[in-house]
Amino acid sequence: MLKSKRPVVLIVEDEFLLRMDAVDMIAAAGFEVVEAANANEAIGILEALGIAETDLPEGRRFLPKPCSPTDVAGCET
């Protein structure tokens, strides 16, 4: 489990360079950063950390598994 005194931000972005820039900016702002390349990977990370969808702020929802980038519009819950 991730143990940090700093607030933790999960960055989910499939474009590597965009994700890398986002991680650098968020880390420079003082946050602990965890990154994922897609929604399925992000869900796996959250499950591994013991974070349930109900633990997230209201309005943050996951796409159902599996969901490819081309299916995002049809995958919204």
The closest alpha carbon to 32, from 69, 54, 5, belongs to: 5
Is residue 13 over pLDDT 70? yes
Contacts of 5 (CB under 8 A, 6+ apart): none
Q: What is the pLDDT of residues 61-71, one digit of tens each?
A: 555 555 555 55
The closest alpha carbon to 40, from 59, 61, 73, 67, belongs to: 67
As a whole-number percent, the residues of the chain with pLDDT over 90 amount to 31
pLDDT higher for 72 or 34? 34
Average pLDDT (12-22) is 94
As a whole-number percent, the residues of the chain with pLDDT over 70 amount to 61
Task: Please report the sign of the dihedral spanned by the C-alpha atoms of residue 59, residue 62, residue 68, residue 74.
Answer: negative
